[in-house]
Structure 1
């Protein structure tokens, strides 16, 4: 047992930093500030030390890995992307500063995802944001987009700490600050009296450096829950698999014997319980340990086998059919690859009847118009199972009720 614990200690820096190892504290600190192109004197910055002290106390109370809990599902994927980019490994903690490593993070300014992309910036760097997906929440695509963005910022400002600051406040805002200050020297830009940069941006680079220094602090990390989480990371590494157009996440989950909400949590970029219908195939994420089961059990199936099939009647059009099933008519059109809105009597249409993935930690919040029957059908369970799990005597449910879906 003791041997495994010490093994975990030495695995931790490799997982978080790649080539960095637990040497002396001073050597690690030098490596980190150099990675950001910062002067060594930055380690003496009073506000940086204050943030480190505050975070150290916070994490000693609540645990450093509480913030990393979800991240340990996909840190290996982020590290692999970093290894294939020019961005220093230390920028892993930019994601922690941006979102607390939460895929679902959403700001008042409409930034979303692990790397907190604004919609327009996300689209510029190739992320799809539409009725079907919000790829700002896609683990791999958002990470690659963020790294490309950071490489672009570094090419413009020529220093990694400037790229990080620009990521926070925008290129134009940083350019004006440098012009006004007459230099890109970090000590000048962070001047508290001159305020060349917004307060948030002044503390932003300090926060990223502080988090990186804490994660590289051997004495600090030894007292954290590293062994459990490292083992969990190994068990829950992520694999990419291709599924057919319109495939349902709930069906894939059933085929690989895991709860739908857990598979959905790896694919938060999907707005519905199905992948987009545009292309023949679509890539989703599954736990690596489920890869063999997927390969053995998954076979594409005709859409009508797990969606509703509608026969067009006299007087019906796409709009009327969409209202009947509470599905946008454009979605019906795309699922059936229709080139026009013209329908013929008797024509068969696949209707993607599926609500958004509203499960969080296995709970579903009841909405207006819901019934136990509809909820059971949507999540491929039974009314009796829902009643048993939620101690319901009858079929009455109320808007706002939180229902357990899976045992």
Structure 2
């Protein structure tokens, strides 16, 4: 009897163990999403990949889990959901970034203050964190980048900026505000996602090439009974030129070791904070109260175009997180600057040009263009233009004919060096040659950082320049014949870089270009840097 009970007990134990080992099937379980890239070699054409639906982004990892990562790059790589196909274009872009590690290093340096904020915004909106890599493609994470009409980290055009609430005037350009432009861009991308078949790749393609191009392709597929995800659309190559770059970056962030690249360290925690300012204040005073240099403050707040913040407000001033409390404790010392408001309007007449209108009203063409958010100088008869007022703050100045002084309100004029532009010169190189801030140099001469310089033109160099002008002029003359190159038909940036035995990344940087910039025959390029 005892033996029988022992046998019965053993059988019950074995039954329980068997039940515990058996998998339980429930209808609520979902298969784990494949987070890896396809390992299958495919044709060199764009390879279809499953479109990501809105549900793919509805359940981000809890913040306490995401905070465990050491860097923001790891945080992004961990959450990648968009599948990256394997094709020749993407392989070529991966190889390009691998060859240009210095470019990635520069991107990391520029992205450091803002990348964590962008990622957090994407997570809050339940949007793909991979979108945080788009500024690398658009601007190399340079908030001051401007290539014609597009500007800022996200390279927004004026019309889109207006549509999504960004202010833009002679004092402030919201496209160059990394915080405001991020909010506007994410709003626009979410709009495009809903408009273009709820496909994030369609949204990115629409962002770069125009929503109309993608809409028409979707409509054609719908009429033919075909799928409307990005990989199924028949799009002109020029409409998708940015896609392989972005997808390659997704690969490189997700698997940097596999592709032998490294990302500069950006801590997975906030590095910036915000302080409210009520009206136009002197940037130099604000920097002093925060314990920063003016250059440091300007780098965090590149949207302010003058030495005084914009009238109106309140505005948020971006500061290093550890400087916010210090600034707030002393913000009562900020002196509001007196600035003139808009003075009126003007109706365009036959024969008018921006130049003639600006001259008639004692304005600069740049100020007139900015005040009216014009992307070109073309005017129409009957068009109304805003005439901006003249600032009475420390930023208001007029340059004399001999380019030797700056008038600042009632203050004693400051003396500046005068420099005559040589062939191949640009503001970026001159700012480094004379060891001055690029934006300060551009502001002093009423230029933008990408303004073209003409040989013989005279520009002002701030008195802070720590370099011998005579010595540098001599060096310029010595290198004049070898420092520049005239673009010929069939040239490309890569071809020119190889011809002159310089790095492509350096050639792009010296000429304030982008990798995708189109060259024109006759265009002059700098092919050597300041030694």
Query: Aligning the two structures, in what range does the TM-score lie when normalised by the shorter sequence?
Result: 0.5 to 0.7
TM-aligned CA deviation for residue 172 of structure 1: 0.9
1:289 aligns with 2:289: no
Note closer, same or farther for the CA distance 1:87–1:369 as it changes in structure 2 (3 Å cut).
farther
1:93 aligns with 2:133: yes
TM-aligned CA deviation for residue 283 of structure 1: 1.4
TM-aligned CA deviation for residue 221 of structure 1: 8.0
Counterpart position of 1:255:
289
Q: Any conservation in 1 of the 2:119–2:129 contact (CA below 8 Å)?
A: yes
Q: Any conservation in 1 of the 2:252–2:261 contact (CA below 8 Å)?
A: no
Note closer, same or farther for the CA distance 1:405–1:265 as it changes in structure 2 (3 Å cut).
farther
1:351 aligns with 2:408: no
1:270 aligns with 2:312: no
Deviations 1:93-120 (A, max 9, x none): 1121111111011123x01111111101
| Partner of residue 216 from structure 2, selected from 176, 180, 184 | 176
Q: Distance in 2 between matches of 1:69 and 1:271?
A: 22
Counterpart position of 2:194:
155
Structure 2 runs not aligned, ≥5 long: 1-67, 341-360, 369-389, 417-432, 436-444, 446-456, 467-531
Q: Any conservation in 2 of the 1:307–1:353 contact (CA below 8 Å)?
A: no
TM-aligned CA deviation for residue 383 of structure 1: 6.6
Q: Any conservation in 1 of the 2:279–2:310 contact (CA below 8 Å)?
A: yes
Q: Any conservation in 2 of the 1:105–1:112 contact (CA below 8 Å)?
A: yes
| Partner of residue 45 from structure 1, selected from 71, 81, 87 | 87
Q: Any conservation in 1 of the 2:311–2:339 contact (CA below 8 Å)?
A: no
TM-aligned CA deviation for residue 243 of structure 1: 1.5
TM-aligned CA deviation for residue 401 of structure 1: 4.6
Q: Any conservation in 2 of the 1:243–1:300 contact (CA below 8 Å)?
A: no
Structure 1 runs not aligned, ≥5 long: 1-8, 22-30, 190-195, 310-321, 330-348, 357-365, 392-396
Residues 68-217 of structure 1 mapped to structure 2, 5 A cutoff: 68-108=108-148, 110-156=149-195, 157-181=197-221, 182=224, 183-189=227-233, 196-217=234-255
TM-score by length of 2: 0.52
Counterpart position of 2:492:
none
Q: Distance in 2 between matches of 1:369 and 1:262?
A: 31
Note closer, same or farther for the CA distance 1:201–1:308 as it changes in structure 2 (3 Å cut).
closer
Range with bigger deviation, 368-377 or 251-260: 368-377
Q: Distance in 1 between matches of 2:309 and 2:235?
A: 42
TM-score by length of 1: 0.66
Note closer, same or farther for the CA distance 1:295–1:220 as it changes in structure 2 (3 Å cut).
farther
SS at match of 1:230: coil
Deviations 1:219-267 (A, max 9, x none): 16876363xx336x87x92211012311111110122232212211211
Across the aligned residues of Structure 1 and Structure 2, the Cα RMSD in angstroms comes to 4.3
Q: Distance in 2 between matches of 1:225 and 1:186?
A: 29
| Partner of residue 75 from structure 2, selected from 18, 29, 32 | 18
Deviations 1:254-281 (A, max 9, x none): 22232212211211111212222224x3
Q: Any conservation in 1 of the 2:404–2:460 contact (CA below 8 Å)?
A: no
Deviations 1:202-229 (A, max 9, x none): 2322211111111222416876363xx3
Deviations 1:324-369 (A, max 9, x none): 9xxx89xxxxxxxxxxxxxxxxxxx99224159xxxxxxxxx9966
Q: Any conservation in 2 of the 1:17–1:89 contact (CA below 8 Å)?
A: no
Counterpart position of 1:340:
none
Q: Any conservation in 2 of the 1:104–1:113 contact (CA below 8 Å)?
A: yes
- Structure label with greater radius of gyration: 2
Q: Any conservation in 1 of the 2:406–2:413 contact (CA below 8 Å)?
A: no
- Of structures 1 and 2, the one scoring higher in RCO (CA 8 A, sep 6+) is 1
TM-aligned CA deviation for residue 78 of structure 1: 1.0
Deviations 1:263-304 (A, max 9, x none): 11211111212222224x32111111212321222215453x
SS at match of 2:292: coil
SS at match of 1:18: helix
Q: Distance in 1 between matches of 2:298 and 2:186?
A: 25
Note closer, same or farther for the CA distance 1:51–1:225 as it changes in structure 2 (3 Å cut).
closer
Note closer, same or farther for the CA distance 1:273–1:49 as it changes in structure 2 (3 Å cut).
same
Superposed structure 1 runs of 4+ greater than 6 Å apart = 375-378, 380-384
